[in-house]
């Protein structure tokens, strides 16, 4: 690679801001890299990049909340790249669901294509981790995304890992909370089986309780414990009529439906909540089930859409938030969920709060709403202000509460010395996930409250690093290696009209076919995937300006389609006196000599490369930046 070189830098904070989508991902998946690989037709390489940090890549390709898209720079121009759907495309080709030979072995022992990597990406960066089989025993309590991700990474490090699961199946809320029309149960099984194949033992129907808790696990020889039991209990709503038959918690409803039990909600269903869980519950009710409460609008929309297919003729979502306040409408994924809900006939009642539930003969028959002026205060804290002048009635057969969840931590004893927060969660160090008890770590919903899947995965992976450091006797230092490659203008190309290509939502099946467990989203074709991937603005590539070669011809400024380059007099810049003095000394500037500077708005740059092509002196170049974090011994 001509023009390629490596340097070591002490701090990653500056360089990581160059790839906003990767920083938006809690596990730092190099999303831009695998999107660019898809655009180039390198689907196998794209899979390795997507899977490298994520043991649940196939799952996230379907149900991730996609915080990477919220940070995608393309979203500041028109709409973000459809990163989540593109991940599904490549995992269907090479992941656990594909017919191709699985490539995870290559990932564990080889090196994926170049890209930005953190120390928890595969293959493990620290050689000692992959070569020393320590055999120390670690217990993981709970088999949700956090627990299984922790088990996955610890097993690769050489630890003996046992997962304790209270139910007869693994997966946590992946299985018990997310409806099958969004996430196939066979896909969950395959992902979990890959983790078990690493030597992870899962003990089913083995809950921790007052008789068998933390003390007993220590007695059995487990030297470290990761608690990731989730939030399995729904919250009550303490208003008149809340004890009526037909008022159910979304979490209870989804647990029953997703485990094969039929729950009849009647023909008129109301879901109260504003998050993904509420949406899952509503859409399940249409087919005969509902989902758990989470508190943000994503859940509310899911719940309502479910209720429309489970047999319910009317499905309503009532939320304290206005449409402007609804979290679901602040992300690309949420917007698409919301649009699907509207297509399916879900009816919305924003800025409405429940005043009382109405019933006859012990059975709920309706609800009285009160108006809501605002849901959050000026600091963004939940502090609803009600408008009692608004009073509305709605007849219903059942009401599903998707208003939050809490954990069951009855297995923790005073002697365990595990402190809790005022809200009932386990108190942890936010960086290491260590609890107040030596050797015990906690993550996921039980430590931070309801979170999305990818945040649970990130907690599990961080816990694995922290447990490894604890059992080793101390954390290791990090070193950042930066690789820079100059791209010759002769081979720098972008897809035709890429800056004008619109975002396309993933294909879905017809409304008439959305019954039972039929998966609604079908995924991109190869042509669609490459077209959508081609919208990426390639944040890995930087436009580099060399003032020593510049002749100030202004051609780069003239050709820029986004007007993000500008040549200005140095005197117009707000520079520190010391910097200005350095410039004067370096260029031997005369006091009356006018010097110019090139400034650039990197937010609007689309990496089209026209400035580099147009430059007659090679002062403007396109260069690729990749960095890799490696752990080194102290």
Q: What is the CATH number of the domain that holds 91?
A: 1.10.1060
Q: How many CB atoms lie within 10 A of CB 96?
A: 22
Helix axes 43-51, 31-39, angle to 10 degrees: 170
> Does a structural domain hold residue 608?
yes
> Does a structural domain hold residue 242?
no
- Together in a domain, 322 and 370: yes
> Does a structural domain hold residue 460?
yes
Q: Scanning the structure block, which residue is given the tokens 């979490």?
A: 251
Give residue 503's domain range: 11-123+488-533
State the pLDDT at residue 293.
38
- Together in a domain, 65 and 117: yes
- Together in a domain, 139 and 185: yes
State the pLDDT at residue 12.
57
- Together in a domain, 98 and 139: no
State the pLDDT at residue 290.
37
Domain containing residue 462: CATH number: 3.50.50.60
- pTM of this prediction? 0.88
SS (H, E, C) 262-313: CCCCCCEEEEECCEHHHHHHHHHHECCCCCCCCCCHHHHHHHHHHHCCCECC
Rounded to the nearest 10°, the torsion over CA 284, 289, 295, 298 is -10
Q: What's the structural domain count of the chain?
A: 4
Terminal Cα distance for the chain, rounded: 33
> Does a structural domain hold residue 6?
no
94 exposed, middle or buried (CB, 10 Å; 0-12, 13-18, 19+)? buried
Using DSSP, state whether 87 is helix, strand or coil. Answer: helix
List, for the chain, all residue ranges whose pLDDT scores fall below the cut of 50.
1-2, 126-128, 131, 289-295, 306-310
- Together in a domain, 145 and 95: no
């Amino acid at each position: 690679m001509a023009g390629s070189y490596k340097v070591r830098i002490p701090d990653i904070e500056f360089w990581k801001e160059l790839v906003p989508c990767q920083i938006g991902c809690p596990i730092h998946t190099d999303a831009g890299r695998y999107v660019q690989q898809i655009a180039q037709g390198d689907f196998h390489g794209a899979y390795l990049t997507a899977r490298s940090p994520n043991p649940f890549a196939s799952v996230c390709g379907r149900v991730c909340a996609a915080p990477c898209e919220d940070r995608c720079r393309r979203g500041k121009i028109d709409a973000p790249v459809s990163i989540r759907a593109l991940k599904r495309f490549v995992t269907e080709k090479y992941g656990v669901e594909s017919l191709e030979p699985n490539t995870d072995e290559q990932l564990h022992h080889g090196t994926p294509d170049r890209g930005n990597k953190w120390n928890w990406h595969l293959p493990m960066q620290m050689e000692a981790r992959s070569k020393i089989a320590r055999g120390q025993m670690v217990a993981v309590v709970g088999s949700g995304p956090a627990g299984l991700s922790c088990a996955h990474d610890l097993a690769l490090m050489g630890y003996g890992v046992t997962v304790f699961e209270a139910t007869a199946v693994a997966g946590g809320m992946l299985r018990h909370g997310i409806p099958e029309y969004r996430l196939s149960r066979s896909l969950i099984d395959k992902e979990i089986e890959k983790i078990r194949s690493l030597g992870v033992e899962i003990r089913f129907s083995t809950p921790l309780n007052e008789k068998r808790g933390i003390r007993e696990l220590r007695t059995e020889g487990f030297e470290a414990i990761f608690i990731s039991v989730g939030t399995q209990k729904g919250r009550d709503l303490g208003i008149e009529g809340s004890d009526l038959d037909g008022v159910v918690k979304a979490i209870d409803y989804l647990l029953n439906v997703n485990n094969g039990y039929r729950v009849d909600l009647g023909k008129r269903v109301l879901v109260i909540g504003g998050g993904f869980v509420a949406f899952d519950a509503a859409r399940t009710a249409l087919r005969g089930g509902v989902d758990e409460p989470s508190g943000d609008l994503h859940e509310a929309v899911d719940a309502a859409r479910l209720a429309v297919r489970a047999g319910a003729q009317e499905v309503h979502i009532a939320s304290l938030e206005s449409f402007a306040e609804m979290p679901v409408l602040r992300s690309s994924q949420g917007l698409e969920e919301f649009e699907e809900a509207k297509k399916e006939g879900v009816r919305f009642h924003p800025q409405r709060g429940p005043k009382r539930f109405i019933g006859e003969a012990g059975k709920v028959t309706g609800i009285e709403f009160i108006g809501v002026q605002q849901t959050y205060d000026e600091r963004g804290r939940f502090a609803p202000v009600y408008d009692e002048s608004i009073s509305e009635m709605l007849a219903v057969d059942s009401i599903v509460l998707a208003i939050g969840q809490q954990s069951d931590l009855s297995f923790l004893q005073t002697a365990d010395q595990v402190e809790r927060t005022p809200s009932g969660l386990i108190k942890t160090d936010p960086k290491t996930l260590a609890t107040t008890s030596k050797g015990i770590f906690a993550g996921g919903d039980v430590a931070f409250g309801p979170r999305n899947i990818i945040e649970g995965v990130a907690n599990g992976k961080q816990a694995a690093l922290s447990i490894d450091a604890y059992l080793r006797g101390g954390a290791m230092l990090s070193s950042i290696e930066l690789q820079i490659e100059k791209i010759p203008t002769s081979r720098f190309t972008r897809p035709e009209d890429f800056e004008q290509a619109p975002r396309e939502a993933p294909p879905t099946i017809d409304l008439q076919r959305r019954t039972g467990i039929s998966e609604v989203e079908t995924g991109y074709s190869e042509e669609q995937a490459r077209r959508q991937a081609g919208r990426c603005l390639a944040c890995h590539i930087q436009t580099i300006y060399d003032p020593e070669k510049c002749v100030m011809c202004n051609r780069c400024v003239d050709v820029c389609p986004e007007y993000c380059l500008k040549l200005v007099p140095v005197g117009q810049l707000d520079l520190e006196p010391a910097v200005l003095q350095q410039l004067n000394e370096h260029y031997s500037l005369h006091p009356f000599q006018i010097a110019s500077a090139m400034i650039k708005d990197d937010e609007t740059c689309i990496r089209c490369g026209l400035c580099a092509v147009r430059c007659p002196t090679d002062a403007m170049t396109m260069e690729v930046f990749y960095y890799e974090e490696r752990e080194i011994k102290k």
